[in-house]
Amino acid sequence: MSMQPSTIYLADYRPPNFSVSHVELDFDIHPTQTRVVSTMTMKRHPQGEAIIVLNGFELTLIAIELNGRELLAGEYHRDEESLSIPCDEFDVTVRVITEINPLDNKALEGLYRSASMFCTQCEAEGFRRISYFPDRPDVLATYRVRIEADKAECPVLLSNGNLELSGELDNQRHFSVWYDPFPKPSYLFALVAGDLSAQSDVFVTASGREVALHLYVEAKDLDKCDFALEALKRSMIWDEEKYGREYDLDLFNIVAVDDFNMGAMENKSLNIFNSSCVLAKPETTTDQAFQRIEGIVAHEYFHNWSGNRVTCRDWFQLSLKEGFTVYRDAQFSADMGSAAVKRIEDVALLRARQFAEDAGPLAHPVRPASYIEISNFYTLTVYEKGAEVVRMINTLIGDDAFRKGSDLYFDRNDGTAATIEDFIAAMAEASGRDFSAFMSWYSQAGTPEVHVTERWDETSGFYELAFEQRLPLAGGRENWKPLVIPIRLSLLGEAGALAIQQAGAESADNTEWVYELDQYEATVKFGPFNERPVPSLLRDFSAPVKLVDTLTDEQLRFLIARDTDAYVRWDSSQKLLLAEIERAKSDSYSLCPKLSEALAAVLADDAADPALRAYSLSLPSEALLQQGESVDPVALFTAKDRVKAAIATELQEQFRTIVAQRVSWDQYQPSAEQVGQRLLQNLALDYVVKLGECSAAEAQFASANNMTDQLAALRSLFRYADRHPMAEFISQWAEDGLVLNTAFALQASARDGATLADIQRITEHQAFDFDNPNKVRAVFGSFGSDNTPLFHAKDGSGYEYLGDMVLKIDESNPQTASRLAAPLTRWRNLAPAYSAAMKAVLERLAGCPTLSKDLYEVVSKSLL
């Protein structure tokens, strides 16, 4: 980075001067010198200026032609990031010849080499590293792509669309030609060339189209393809049934790649996946990974409509495709397994990580107003909070209108680059609802707090709830608008939920109601009742807010025992556990007997879903604990450990019984039933090991027929016992890079007695590789977010170490470096001693003259 990077503003959006209707791309692949010839059919926008602007980065320009004539150096202007050609014609052909070096590309954007294959990653702005092009999502073109490569090195040549032609050439080379009839932006372009094997299948769409499905992997991974292919077929049927969306080509390819910055990418008909997000088999893959893979396969597939057929006008609209697609994949996962469990998992993630982001220096609205580097905005806010916003729309208008709105959105915007307003307009039209007040969810950052107080009048039997919303935004109420917050609620009495007389109360027996809080303050009156109700609020987590209530511990225990809403039951136990951790900061702490009783009852409730029981007994994550002000992470870590030990002691008999009566299946399935049972059993095992009893875990480690059970046993032993089979595990799985990553992650999060030198040693393992984002994340990501005692060491050494590693990785891979830096941005929340040490590291990074744009944005905004 040579100059101060500039900020891009949504308010500055202008359509391109020239768009591209068709492009012919020709790749002559050689590892260090790949020649790309791009021939673009361009048209000037009626209001466009007479200048063609192309983006390009780190390209060697060989030649450029306008309408068949090669341009001389003075006829165009070129700088580090663009090339512009003055041109007063309206219909032109531009041909650009460039050369690139895939082998040296460690940023993993554009065309690069991963293991033995060449592959691309173009979202958001990677295409400009391949050729000069108007690399912006509102330029939609059809693509014909010719790929030529060495036949032995790259027997498989893939791009988007359908294969038109292939053949042999001289010098042991061969070629293939692909044509994609659907106009698309450059970020959806993809190319793969390598020595790959495929597992294949066929899907017949609702209208009878036969679609060939291929999952391309390295030959050694062919036994890890079944699950993703099945998940893909489930996704294809689901999208037909739930959203009326059919697949539109005769071919759908997925390729698994080891070196990948993110989870996966929805390139038209050629999805590229991080191998950790697609390869699976029971012996090496945990239940959680199976479920994640199913969700990501679905997510990328669903993008074919929400993202590809209808794309984004500009990158500020990113949540248009991502928020909607995350919502769609969450609905899918809910339908495939347990809806309640999926909801609790998503809420736990949102509260632990998105709330922290929304309260930190990089907080931004679901639709940001500005950015320096768009890669920094693939965030939990754009994805997860964006999905919550779509969920609220569904809640507010109901399922039928939501489906009508989505049909209208797809039909009306098909083949175009749309905005969030286009999505909302379709929902408004389908439902007859005015969304103008709702739009603030897209433009106001920060997590709103909703404060609720109860008023019960014993004599009249009337019960009131007073709500107040507080926005954590500078300048107070005058500068911001109150949000429209749907609060799903019930009022519980001794014999169950009470009937709510309010108009529009939802459930058949009028016991549930979605109250719309759209003012800063409002009060609702219920009753008369002949008993004081206990409120069950924000059921199913109906809005992404922090609910601050005044419920007593007794009321919370009542909800845990009696509510029918799984989220509220879980949330109530989390609230009690959080309060317990707060109390456990004192040395004289002992577990509250009433809480112990309540937890014992949950654990003993054999009629309840085992996964829900397990989550109710899981302590809040450190990311959640560390929210707030003047946080002492190490004190909280110690307090949490005390609560854990106390629960282990109090409920030991129950935990031992669950462990002793462990159910196992000969036929492993990542089904809701088996996953839930393993979750509960492994939770109990963890508590038992915490007590110092290791034999059951040791036996489970040795005999498990699946990675979920083996890793759970290893994790508990590694965390709580001196003798653990880590070395055995590493040698058992020496050939499986993905399993080794989980071992690295576990080692990097070692809590007690570990030193920085131990972490350093992992990076010297022969399987470690600084250029591979999965490995880097396994070690330094876990260190920064999962190793409280070492990362937050009082002398600042943990911060210094992560800072050093971030700088090192930034030299080759800015996207990964800037993500790894996230734990270093939270200094303002920390108690003074931590805060000063962390800030010092950020200042050191800020003073480094060679920071990438990505890291510069994170570091500079954190220090503002």
Q: Annotated catalytic sites, by residue?
A: 300
> What is the size of the binding site for Zn ion (CB under 5 A)?
2
Q: Which two tokens stand for residue 9?
A: 């503003």
Q: 400-409 long-range contacts, Cβ below 8 Å, gap at least 24?
A: 401/427, 401/430, 401/431, 401/432, 401/433, 402/427, 402/430, 402/431, 403/243, 403/244, 404/430, 404/431, 405/429, 405/430, 405/431, 406/243, 407/243, 407/244, 409/310
- Is residue 113 helix, strand or coil? strand
Taking a C-beta distance cutoff of 8 angstroms, is the pair 493, 529 a contact?
A: yes
- Binding part of the chain for Zn ion, among 325-333, 346-354, 359-367, 468-476 by CB under 5 A, reads 325-333
* Beta carbon nearer to Zn ion, 301 or 513: 301
121 binds, among Zn ion, ligand 0A1, none (CB under 5 to 8 A by kind): ligand 0A1
261 binds, among Zn ion, ligand 0A1, none (CB under 5 to 8 A by kind): ligand 0A1
Nearest-5° Cα angle at 816, 304 to 861: 105
Q: Which of 138, 266, 346, 641 binds ligand 0A1 (CB under 6 A)?
A: 266
Contact between 813 and ligand 0A1 per CB under 6 A: no
* Beta carbon nearer to Zn ion, 125 or 571: 125
* Beta carbon nearer to Zn ion, 319 or 325: 325
Among candidate residues 651, 555, 653, the one with its CA nearest the CA of residue 597:
651
Q: How far is the CB of 705 from Zn ion (least distance, A)?
A: 34
Any residues with CB less than 8 A from the CB of 755 and at least 6 apart, and which? 790
- Residue type for 728, please? E
Q: How far is the CB of 197 from ligand 0A1 (least distance, A)?
A: 24
- Could you identify the residue written with the tokens 């950020």? 842
- Binding part of the chain for ligand 0A1, among 158-166, 258-266, 656-664, 840-848 by CB under 6 A, reads 258-266
789 binds, among ligand 0A1, Zn ion, none (CB under 5 to 8 A by kind): none
Q: Which two tokens stand for residue 652?
A: 């030991």
Q: Which of 135, 180, 300, 810 binds ligand 0A1 (CB under 6 A)?
A: 300
Q: Which of 19, 121, 306, 338 binds ligand 0A1 (CB under 6 A)?
A: 121
E-strand spans in 527-592? Answer: 534-537, 546-548
* Beta carbon nearer to ligand 0A1, 214 or 321: 321
* Beta carbon nearer to ligand 0A1, 121 or 788: 121
* Cα–Cα dist 308/106, whole Å: 27
For residues 694 to 733, the per-residue mask of contacts with Zn ion, x marking binding by CB under 5 A and - elsewhere, is ----------------------------------------
262 binds, among ligand 0A1, Zn ion, none (CB under 5 to 8 A by kind): ligand 0A1
Q: Which two tokens stand for residue 96?
A: 């650009």
Q: How far is the CB of 239 from ligand 0A1 (least distance, A)?
A: 16
Taking a C-beta distance cutoff of 8 angstroms, is the pair 862, 362 a contact?
A: yes
* DSSP assignment letter at 58: S
For residues 203 to 242, the per-residue mask of contacts with ligand 0A1, x marking binding by CB under 6 A and - elsewhere, is ----------------------------------------
Q: Which of 375, 682, 747, 749 binds ligand 0A1 (CB under 6 A)?
A: 375
Of the CA atoms within 13 Å of residue 383, those in its CB half-sphere come to 17
Any residues with CB less than 8 A from the CB of 753 and at least 6 apart, and which? none
* Beta carbon nearer to Zn ion, 338 or 406: 406
- Is residue 70 helix, strand or coil? strand
618 binds, among Zn ion, ligand 0A1, none (CB under 5 to 8 A by kind): none
* Cα–Cα dist 802/796, whole Å: 10
Q: How far is the CB of 377 from ligand 0A1 (least distance, A)?
A: 10
Give burial (CB, 10 Å; 0-12/13-18/19+) of 757. Answer: exposed
Q: Which of 261, 276, 536, 706 binds ligand 0A1 (CB under 6 A)?
A: 261
- What's phi and psi for 720, nearest 5 deg? -120, -5
Q: Which of 178, 378, 402, 770 binds ligand 0A1 (CB under 6 A)?
A: 378
* Beta carbon nearer to Zn ion, 305 or 744: 305
Angstrom distances, CA of residue 390 to CA of 107, 152, 321, 327: 33, 48, 11, 7
Contact between 123 and ligand 0A1 per CB under 6 A: yes
Provide DSSP, 482-523.
Answer: ---EEEEEEEEETTEEPPP-STT--STTS--EEEEE-SSEEE
Radius of gyration of the chain, Cα coordinates, nearest whole angstrom: 28
- Residue type for 570, please? W
> What is the size of the binding site for ligand 0A1 (CB under 6 A)?
15
* Cα–Cα dist 180/834, whole Å: 54
* Cα–Cα dist 694/700, whole Å: 10
375 binds, among ligand 0A1, Zn ion, none (CB under 5 to 8 A by kind): ligand 0A1
* Beta carbon nearer to ligand 0A1, 180 or 266: 266
* Beta carbon nearer to Zn ion, 325 or 542: 325
Contact between 526 and ligand 0A1 per CB under 6 A: no
Any residues with CB less than 8 A from the CB of 575 and at least 6 apart, and which? 551, 556
Among candidate residues 835, 755, 836, 844, the one with its CA nearest the CA of residue 806:
844
- Binding part of the chain for ligand 0A1, among 118-126, 135-143, 346-354, 567-575 by CB under 6 A, reads 118-126
249 binds, among Zn ion, ligand 0A1, none (CB under 5 to 8 A by kind): none
- Is residue 27 helix, strand or coil? strand
Contact between 265 and ligand 0A1 per CB under 6 A: yes
* Beta carbon nearer to Zn ion, 137 or 527: 137
* Cα–Cα dist 746/782, whole Å: 8
Q: How far is the CB of 317 from ligand 0A1 (least distance, A)?
A: 13
Angstrom distances, CA of residue 206 to CA of 162, 203, 254, 442, 860: 21, 10, 21, 35, 51
Q: How far is the CB of 403 from ligand 0A1 (least distance, A)?
A: 23
Taking a C-beta distance cutoff of 8 angstroms, is the pair 563, 535 a contact?
A: no
Taking a C-beta distance cutoff of 8 angstroms, is the pair 818, 855 a contact?
A: yes
Contact between 741 and ligand 0A1 per CB under 6 A: no
265 binds, among ligand 0A1, Zn ion, none (CB under 5 to 8 A by kind): ligand 0A1
* Beta carbon nearer to ligand 0A1, 542 or 772: 772
Q: How far is the CB of 58 from ligand 0A1 (least distance, A)?
A: 16
Q: How far is the CB of 323 from ligand 0A1 (least distance, A)?
A: 10
- Residue type for 527, please? G
**Of residues 307-346, those binding ligand 0A1 (CB under 6 A):** 322
* Beta carbon nearer to ligand 0A1, 574 or 816: 816
854 binds, among Zn ion, ligand 0A1, none (CB under 5 to 8 A by kind): none
- Binding part of the chain for Zn ion, among 318-326, 447-455, 514-522, 703-711 by CB under 5 A, reads 318-326
Q: How far is the CB of 378 from ligand 0A1 (least distance, A)?
A: 5
Contact between 700 and ligand 0A1 per CB under 6 A: no
- What's phi and psi for 616, nearest 5 deg? -70, -20
Q: How far is the CB of 555 from ligand 0A1 (least distance, A)?
A: 40
Q: Which of 107, 236, 264, 704 binds ligand 0A1 (CB under 6 A)?
A: 264
Contact between 255 and ligand 0A1 per CB under 6 A: no
Of all helices (H) and strands (E), which one includes residue 270?
strand 270-274
Q: Which residues bind Zn ion (CB under 5 A)?
A: 322, 325
**In the complex, which residues of this chain contact ligand 0A1 (CB under 6 A)?**
121, 123-124, 261-266, 299-300, 322, 375, 378, 815
